Amino acid sequence: MLTLYGCLRSRASRNAWLLHEAGLDFRHVPVIQAYRLADPEAPDAPLHTRSPDFLAVNPNGHIPSLVDDGLVLHESLAINLYLARRHGGALGPADAAEDGLMGMWSLWAATEVEPHSIEILYNRVGKPPAERDAAKAEAAVAALRNPVAVLDRALAESSFLVGGRFTVADINVAEVMRYALPAPELFTDAPRVKAWMEACHARPAFRRMMADREREPA
Amino acid sequence: MLTLYGCLRSRASRNAWLLHEAGLDFRHVPVIQAYRLADPEAPDAPLHTRSPDFLAVNPNGHIPSLVDDGLVLHESLAINLYLARRHGGALGPADAAEDGLMGMWSLWAATEVEPHSIEILYNRVGKPPAERDAAKAEAAVAALRNPVAVLDRALAESSFLVGGRFTVADINVAEVMRYALPAPELFTDAPRVKAWMEACHARPAFRRMMADREREPA
């Protein structure tokens, strides 16, 4: 029995997408970020990241978490690597070399891309207009130029990142790079990244996740 | 044949430590960070992260990278997960659950700890005194309080992070947390983290790596 904790307007989107790709049944507990609630202490507040019931699952107080038959895992990208390896068939590695490359791309997304892509998201669309910092978004765009070029070159060799087929590496990198889409100027010189993102987002499993996400409270 | 690129005064220290733990022979190419050189373009400059010869190995221009019999990997934590799984014996996972937990702790180190621990290192000891920002170091200490508490609680259940034995998860987390040691106030309420770090740093493989590191140019 698989249980995914975390609303889909969070990094849990990555896990829901992969679970749909793998055709896995799961229970979804839509824990919300505490900072999004006006009064997290209110008796009718929904389950959130500072609720004692959720902190008992993940003491980090962050979403998502996954429980698989008693095994508790946090960190969205690690959860996807685990799910792909254990339950994901061809989404996971065929051998140790592929496993290494899937881990590399996932850590690359976390360290080379996400600190910048999240600033683009926050400062171009996420925050209320008065709180956005245009200079921070610009700095993030500048910092992402080389990572986007690296990704574009990798996609020149194959339409997918590892093993010549769609895998967890594509999901993990595409989900982190999605936060940079409010900076379209990043992708004009990276036609392969653009085409790859569009192909990722045309997949039925991604569209199903996004449709579920749209139905969640804003 | 294993080749590790990157001087030991960099995240390559993590990989050298694991390679020694596993008793693996490797060729070490001490690529240096370009920003540490007064003139990276000088004809007698050592091999560095912007040298064309190194960019041909890692177009990200960052160290470390590893080459294992033709397989090229970047990202220090991913390199260690790969080495442990493929060549590391008991340092690596015994099953998919352990593999998932080792990945989780490594991503946890990268996302919950390193963005803050590196600020402590830079702003308390790394930068020249006039360039240090005490407020940034303070903010990083505050941000690490909960991650350190989470780690301390995890170590209450076992002296090691995964599987009741010393593994790649301990190396990856200890190396990221090492950057926070210039903030000893973080560890006074986390006695298990303190004892675990001391045990990690007493290991012969860690000491061998640190001795090699001390012999590198400052």
How many domains, chain B? 2
CATH number at residue B131: 1.20.1050.10
Identify the closest residue of chain A to B64 by CA–CA distance. A104
Q: Can you give the pLDDT at residue B201? A: 98
Q: Could you say which of A71, A96, A110 has the minimum Cβ distance to residue B97?
A: A71
Q: What percentage of chain A reaches a pLDDT higher than 90?
A: 98
pLDDT band at A170; cut points 50, 70, 90: very high
Question: Are B179 and B199 contained in the same domain?
Answer: yes
The confidence score (pLDDT) of residue A33 equals 96
Which helix (DSSP H) or strand (DSSP E) does residue A29 occupy? strand A27-29
Residue-wise pLDDT for A109-120, tens only, equals 999 999 999 999
B65 and B102 inside one domain: no
Question: Is the sign of the CA dihedral B56, B57, B60, B64 positive or negative?
Answer: negative
Is the per-residue pLDDT at A218 higher than 80? no
Let me know whether A87 and A11 are in one domain. Answer: yes
Tell me how many residue pairs between chain A and chain B have CB atoms under 8 A apart. Answer: 102
Q: Is B86 close to A96, i.e. CB distance below 8 A?
A: yes
- Indicate the pLDDT class of residue A217, thresholds 50, 70 and 90: confident
Q: Which residues have C-beta within 8 Å of that of residue B84, sequence separation ≥ 6?
A: B18, B22, B91, B92, B93, B102, B167, B168
Please indicate, yes or no, whether residues B100 and B61 belong to a single structural domain of this protein.
Answer: no
Q: How many CA atoms lie within 13 A of A51 on its CB side?
A: 21
pLDDT of the residue at B217 = 85
Given this model, what pLDDT does residue B125 score?
97
Q: Do A61 and B146 touch (CB under 8 A)?
A: yes
Mutation target for A interface from B106, B113, B114: give the one with most A CBs within 10 A.
Answer: B106
A101 shares its domain with A45: no
B72 and B125 both lie in a single domain: no
For residue A73, list its beta bridge partners: A66
Quote the pLDDT of residue B63. Answer: 98
Coil, helix or strand at residue B39: coil
A217 within some domain? no
Let me know if residue A68 belongs to a domain.
Answer: yes
Q: Which of the listed residues A35, A61, A91 is the one where a domain comes to its end?
A: A91
Whether the pLDDT of residue A180 is over 80: the answer is yes
> Does residue A171 form part of some domain?
yes
Identify whether residues B101 and B87 lie together within a single domain: no
Strands B65-68 and A71-74: unpaired
Structure letter (DSSP) for residue A40? T
Q: Encode A129-156: b = buried (16+ Cβ within 10 Å), e = exposed.
A: eeeeeeeebeebbebbeebbbbbbebbe
Distances (CA, A) of B44 to A90, B32, B51, B218: 48, 13, 12, 17
State the residue range of the domain holding B34: 2-91
Task: Tell me which chain B residue has its CA closest to the CA of residue A154.
Answer: B59
- The verdict on a CB contact (< 8 Å) between B99 and A85 is yes
Among candidate residues B72, B91, B110, the one where a domain is terminated? B91
In whole angstroms, give the CA distance from residue A186 to residue A125. Answer: 16
Q: Do B78 and A107 touch (CB under 8 A)?
A: yes
**Residue B217 domain-assigned?**
no
Q: Do A108 and B60 touch (CB under 8 A)?
A: yes
For position B31, which CATH number holds?
A: 3.40.30.10
Q: In tens digits, what is the pLDDT along chain B, a chain of 218 residues?
A: 999 999 999 999 999 999 999 999 999 999 999 999 999 999 999 999 999 999 999 999 999 999 999 999 999 999 999 999 999 999 999 999 999 999 999 999 999 999 999 999 999 999 999 999 999 999 999 999 999 999 999 999 999 999 999 999 999 999 999 999 999 999 999 999 999 999 999 999 999 999 999 999 87
| pLDDT computed for residue A67 by the predictor | 98
